[in-house]
Amino acid sequence: MLLVITFRRMRAAVVQMTSTADLDRNLERSAHWIERARSEGAELVALPENFAFMRDEDAGPSEIAQGLEGPVVQFLRDQARRHSLILAGGTFPERIAGDPRPHNTSVLIDSDGELRAVYRKIHLFEIDLPEVSFRESKGISPGRDVVVAELPSGGIGPIGMSVCYDLRFPELYRQHAERGATVLLVPSAFTVPTGRAHWELLLRARAVENQAFVVAAAQFGAHSPRRSSYGHSMIVDPWGRVLCEVPDREGIGLADLDRGELDRIRARLPALDHRVL
């Protein structure tokens, strides 16, 4: 008997935003772009890091820090349910009992509005360049756990979760691959100098070495007089090809994630099976 396997395609969207310290405005803009992405057929929509609240990196603990039952996660759950899509909720400041510094937390919501996964950013951004100096640890507490999310209808496969500066640490993504991830989420707010130098290079490297789709929604433009982001949100396939890239403005990028193509690449070049170390 001939067994026919139909591999599912999933249309993904990356949302590029210029968020500010105005929470209400940011949520309004997020809702606009989520609706726009859904109207273009997106089944998975990814928001950028700090989509709900963006301020100077060294401003200290966030004044809008809240729990997983707070208004930001409720907004994401409502949007996912309303539009019947999987929503990768960028990040928001998650309050921690007994610590003035929140986590920089990313959540994944399924199409029923249920919270499926929570990831707290592990690697915190510390940099001192002539153009820019940040100390993320001043206002953020690091997470510890590697998270790979399973979705009941996720025919494209498990989803590995990460945030921005994590992108520079390939060992995290190798753990994702070892746990079966076929999609890697990288919500980000890369600085302009580091983004110009390394953003696309790192995204394509993580896609190639783990033979996975990389879905990277990013912040763009000036958020305040002291902070700007590089943008160039993109989706990369397991062969390292850039499937879409958002230009220098707010907007969305769309691409079809083809599980069949991923499996063909892994079968023809089984590098993940050839690992020695």
Distance CA 90, CA 108 (A): 9
Please identify which of the residues 43, 57, 136, 164 carries the catalytic annotation. 164
Residue 188 lies in a domain: yes
CA distance 264 to 3: 17
> Quick check: is 272 in a domain?
no
User: Domain containing 177 — which CATH number?
Assistant: 3.60.110.10
Q: What is the pLDDT of residue 5?
A: 41
The reply to whether 271 falls in a domain is no
| 244 a catalytic residue | no
User: Domain for residue 274, yes or no?
Assistant: no
Query: pLDDT at position 153, please?
Result: 54
Q: Is residue 227 part of a domain?
A: yes
- The answer to whether residue 121 is catalytic is yes
pLDDT at 142: 95
Closest of 219, 214, 215 to residue 195, by C-alpha:
219
User: What is this structure's pTM?
Assistant: 0.94
Q: Of 43, 49, 57, 136, which residue is the catalytic one?
A: 49
- DSSP for the chain? -----PPPEEEEEEEEB---S-HHHHHHHHHHHHHHHHHTT-SEEEEPTTSS----TTS-S-TT-B-TTSHHHHHHHHHHHHHTSEEEE--EEEEETTEEEEEEEEEEE-TTS-EEEEEE--S--EEE-SS-EEEGGGT--------EE--TT-TT--EEE--GGGGG-HHHHHHHHHTT-SEEE--B---HHHHHHHHHHHHHHHHHHHT-EEEE-BBEEEEETTEEEE---EEE-TTS-EEEE--SSSEEEEEEEEHHHHHHHHHHS-GGGS---
* Domain extent at residue 93: 10-263
Catalytic residue among 43, 57, 121, 136: 121
Give me the pLDDT at residue 125, please.
87
The pLDDT tens digits along the chain (277 residues) read: 333 344 489 999 999 999 999 999 999 999 999 999 999 999 999 999 999 998 765 555 567 899 999 999 999 999 999 999 999 999 999 999 988 999 999 999 999 999 999 999 999 988 777 777 777 878 899 999 999 999 865 569 999 999 999 999 999 999 999 999 999 999 999 999 999 999 999 999 999 999 999 999 999 999 988 889 999 999 999 999 999 999 999 999 999 999 999 999 999 999 999 999 8
Number of domains observed in the structure of the chain: 1
Q: Do the domain assignments include residue 1?
A: no
Backbone angles phi, psi at 88, to 5 degrees: -90, 110
Residue 216 lies in a domain: yes
Whether 5 maps to a domain, the answer reads: no
Other C-beta atoms lying within 10 Å of the C-beta of residue 202: 19
Predicted pLDDT at 34: 98
pLDDT number for residue 60: 55
Q: What is the pLDDT of residue 2?
A: 37
